[in-house]
Amino acid sequence: MNEGKRGRAVRYLLVILVMFFIIAPFYWIYSSSLKVSTEIVAQSPTLFPESITFGHYANLLSSSDYPIYLTNSAIVSFATMVITVVLSTSAAYGLYRLPFPGRKTIYRLILLAYIFPGSLLLIPLYVMLSRLNLLDTQLALVIINVTFAAPFSVWLLKAFFASIPFELEEAASLDGASWLQTLLLVVLPLASPGVASVAIFAFITSWTEYMFASVLIISDANRTLPVGLAGIIGQYVIDWGLLLAGAGATTLPIILLFVLIGRFFVNGLLEGGVKA
Amino acid sequence: MGIFLVAPLVIWLVATIAYPIFSLIRLSFLDVGVIGTGGEFVGLDNYQRVLNSRAFWPSMGRSVVWVLGNGLLQTVLAFVAALVLNLPFRGRALARTWVILPWIVPAVVAVIVWKWMLGTSGGVVNMILLRLGLIQEQVGFFSTGNTAMASLVGINSWRFFPLLTIIILAGMQGIPKDRYDAAGVDGASAWQRFINITIPGLKPVLFVMGLVGTLWSVNIFDVIYLVTGGGPSRATLTMPVLIYDMAFLQYRLGRAAAAAVLMAVAVTIFTVAFIYFLAPGSEEEDEEWG
């Protein structure tokens, strides 16, 4: 396994190229959002801002509806996250730890639910939610987002549950613990990276959802970030500074979440991928 | 006990997926325009109108082009990225975490940054290509049908290849190391090891990727709608955009439902064929469930 300095250099060069392709657009969002408007639309773009301004961010927060969209997105995403975590951990515990007849079929049906195209469900869900008088409510978005986040979450939890020894649960039940106590006090703490992964996945699913939000929400006061931002793109004259600041500010919470628990999330995907 | 814990999720999904699918089929036989109007049973009228419309078959064709283009580009990108991130290097865990970033940001953010980087006034991609002498004048990436479609495939692939990269990396972890060691003893080249060990070892993963990836990408709406809205002159009008337009811009819910059902039929035929011809054996899965 001896390789020369050249091999090493090539290896690092390849890694840098791959990561550049991933990261460069984000650098471009943030560095440009700090430029003054004339520099942003200059015919030959500058790699670094010539002078740094936070004016676009100030604009975003003071003279656009961005704060409203942000609040709405936060509420919808948080509610989606909580409901998804409860539904999917309880389902995963039932499926993977408490054998019952037909569970394999149910597992497959849940997976099938995940691949169901959203554009197929858009029309009937729109009709259903309008019959229930839920159009233009945040509840409607929460219902939809849980539907799209929960099935994948159940799959993601499989690997985490599989790594917990059954003996621990047996010991707990010998000590007289109920299934709920066993789940909450023994299993969930051990599966906490999995639960964190599910939480982050549900949050992100909701934070990024566009299609349903664009149809189900009618009033500006209930709009979420993706649809709100898209509204700025659609304007006749695009204020790129504002738009880039909006894109940067919308991405920031995801990056922060990822700094904290991204590791568990990707590990969960890697583990799940092996077991699937 | 287990079944009671699964029940809430199952009930939720029946209400939000199974029932809507049933009501979509019902709707496709009704004369509904704006929601709450009409509702008469019109038999196959919606289907006839959709099948005879000028937009339907071209949109189906574009969806096929869309799926093939994305499938090809994403597979190539994901394999390159996975092979590189599987090499030993410092900071590997960090790189493997952050590679997923494009997949987790909102489509609208990807749209904003790429639309701007590929733009003709101050677009950085045009500037780089000009300076490198690869082009003589600015390219309008979204101005002709073919370039718009290609640009959209590129943007969407940038968003989705990270997930495929992770899936391939996961599959690579599952290949026993001693197979590579044995090949090393036999003096197999890196390319031979890739073809004879990595690819066969990835078969189950590639199967899932091909199936799920196709179903996902056929369904992509947001990127296309936000960048081109289906234009220029319908060149990027794929099935999901067509259905959305029919339902929410032209207010023809019944007809849009029929188009959605037709798309579902096409996707189902593809899925069944894919599984029938390409499914690897399922012994491993049975073993795991005991």
Closest-CA residue of B relative to A83 is B9
- Which residues of chain A make contact with B111, given a CB cutoff of 8 A? 230, 233
What's the CA gap between A52 and B172, in Å, rounded? 44
What's the CA gap between A274 and A262, in Å, rounded? 19
- Judge whether A60 is closer than 8 Å to chain B, CB to CB: no
Look over chain A and give the mean of its residue pLDDT values, rounded to a whole number: 86
Question: DSSP code of A221?
Answer: G
- Which residues of chain B make contact with A229, given a CB cutoff of 8 A? 106, 108-109, 112
pLDDT of A272: 65
- In DSSP notation, B74-88 reads HHHHHHHHHHHHTS-
Residues in chain B: 290
pLDDT of A22: 92
User: Quick one: what percent of chain A has pLDDT higher than 70?
Assistant: 96
- Arithmetic mean of pLDDT, A230-252: 85
Show which of residues 195-224 on chain A sit within 8 Å of chain B, judged by CB atoms: 204, 207-208, 210-211, 215
CA distance to partner chain B, nearest, from residue A54 (Å): 19
Closest of A151, A255, A273 to residue B102, by C-alpha: A255
User: Quick one: what percent of chain A has pLDDT higher than 90?
Assistant: 37
pLDDT of B151: 94
Q: Find the CB nearest B124 among A28, A117, A269.
A: A28
- Judge whether A124 is closer than 8 Å to chain B, CB to CB: yes
On the CB side of A23, CA atoms within 13 Å amount to: 13
Residue type at A127? V
H-helix or E-strand containing A209?
A: none
What's the CA gap between A132 and A229, in Å, rounded? 28
- Arithmetic mean of pLDDT, A220-232: 90
What's the CA gap between A238 and A241, in Å, rounded? 9
- Whether residues B112 and A244 touch (CB distance < 8 A) is answered with yes
pLDDT of B38: 67
Q: Per mean pLDDT, which of A39-48, A56-65, B236-245, B267-276 is the most reliable?
A: B236-245
- Do B202 and B168 meet the contact criterion of CB atoms below 8 Å apart? yes
Count Cβ atoms within 10 A of the Cβ of residue B146 and give its class: 0-12 exposed, 13-18 middle, 19 or more buried. Answer: exposed
The tokens describing B203, both together, are 């078969």
- Do A59 and A118 meet the contact criterion of CB atoms below 8 Å apart? no
- Which residues of chain B make contact with A250, given a CB cutoff of 8 A? 105-106, 108-109
- Judge whether B209 is closer than 8 Å to chain A, CB to CB: no
Q: How far is CA A234 from CA A230, A243, B227, in A?
A: 6, 11, 10
The tokens describing B250, both together, are 């032209």
What's the CA gap between B187 and B147, in Å, rounded? 45
First to last CA, chain B: 19
- For residue A191, the tally of other CB atoms under 10 A from its CB is 24
- Arithmetic mean of pLDDT, A29-39: 85
- Which residues of chain B make contact with A147, given a CB cutoff of 8 A? 12-13, 16-17
Question: pLDDT higher for A84 or A168?
Answer: A84
- Whether residues A243 and B112 touch (CB distance < 8 A) is answered with yes
What's the CA gap between A156 and B280, in Å, rounded? 22
- Arithmetic mean of pLDDT, A41-53: 78
pLDDT of A1: 46
- Judge whether B205 is closer than 8 Å to chain A, CB to CB: yes
Question: pLDDT higher for B204 or A31?
Answer: A31
Per-residue b/e over B86-113, b at no fewer than 16 CB within 10 Å? beeeeeeeebbbbbbbbbbbbbbbbbbb
- Judge whether A76 is closer than 8 Å to chain B, CB to CB: no
- Do B110 and A47 meet the contact criterion of CB atoms below 8 Å apart? no
- Whether residues A22 and B253 touch (CB distance < 8 A) is answered with no
Closest of A220, A211, A72 to residue A138, by C-alpha: A72
- Arithmetic mean of pLDDT, A137-156: 93
The tokens describing A195, both together, are 């639960």
- Judge whether A40 is closer than 8 Å to chain B, CB to CB: yes
- Judge whether B288 is closer than 8 Å to chain A, CB to CB: yes
- Whether residues A263 and B93 touch (CB distance < 8 A) is answered with yes
pLDDT of A72: 95
SS3 A25: helix
pLDDT tens-digit readout, B77-91: 999 999 999 888 888
Q: What is the ipTM of this complex?
A: 0.87
Residue type at B52? N
Question: pLDDT higher for A192 or B243?
Answer: B243
Q: Find the CB nearest A147 among B17, B170, B221.
A: B17
- Do B134 and B205 meet the contact criterion of CB atoms below 8 Å apart? no
pLDDT of A138: 94
Question: DSSP code of A182?
Answer: I
Which regions in chain B score pLDDT beneath 50? 283-290
